[in-house]
Amino acid sequence: MLKLEHQTLNDRAYGALKQELISGGFSPGQTLVIRKLAETFGISTTPIREALQRLVAERLLEMQNNRSVIVPLLSAPAFEELTRIRIAVEGLAGEMAASRMTESGLVDIKAALAGMQQAIETGDAKAYLALNEAFHFAIYQHAGAPILLNMIRDLWGRVGPYLKLLMQADRYVPQSNDAHRQIVAALEQRGGPAVRTFIEEDITVAAAVLSANLGAAT
């Protein structure tokens, strides 16, 4: 984790904590200790406390009866609902991005794909997950739809803590890049519907693995 600059600390703390959720830096059910987070980010406890309260209000975190703040645990029905919403909005973002994709954007996406493949071959799960996030958001940012992008970030904030389970699933790892390669091929052809289809497939396959292992995250 990077130390935060001492400017607009409340917003920076909020952004940093939300990014940790998206990137899987926190685990499902984990209790978030204000003092420890403040030490990690090199700031006082006040902006951390306010950022946690903001994330609780957005339901990305959960406050317990004893006032402790935890990363929510997802029930099977909640995870299924989350998956259906992700399929709809991320598929839409991919379809919108296809016609707006730039050559430089495609270069970045291909680089993330190559990095993911290398991470698979070397067994570097942390690098894979970081590059997977970079891959998807490099696509979604080209949709030219900031409201949609914020919705996707919120959805990833809910599912992010579970994504690390993917790289622990032997049956998922060998096929983890299949849909990604198809997404890139469709982007090269500026094929919006095809991009949408392969993003939906990517989310569906990953969700099937995660839904069978929800209990393993606790």
Per-residue 3-state assignment (H helix, E strand, C coil) for 1-16: CCCCCCCCHHHHHHHH
pTM of this prediction?
Answer: 0.90
pLDDT of 1 > 60? The answer is: no
Q: Give me the residue spans of the domains in the chain.
A: 9-70, 76-217
Give the right CATH number for 9-70 from 3.40.220.10, 1.10.10.10, 3.10.300.10, 2.60.40.420: 1.10.10.10
Considering the chain, what is the average pLDDT of its residues?
92
pLDDT bracket for residue 167 (50, 70, 90)? confident
The reported pLDDT for the residue numbered 176 is: 84
pLDDT of 18 > 70? The answer is: yes
pLDDT bracket for residue 173 (50, 70, 90)? confident
Look up the CATH architecture of domain 76-217. Answer: Up-down Bundle (1.20)
Per-residue 3-state assignment (H helix, E strand, C coil) for 123-179: CCHHHHHHHHHHHHHHHHHHHCCHHHHHHHHHHHHHHHHHHHHHHHCCCCHHHCCHH
Produce one character per residue of 138-150: b if its CB has 16 or more CB atoms within 10 Å, e if not.
bbbbbbebeebbe
Q: Computed over its alpha carbons, how large is the radius of gyration of the chain?
A: 18
Q: What is the mean pLDDT of residues 45-63?
A: 96
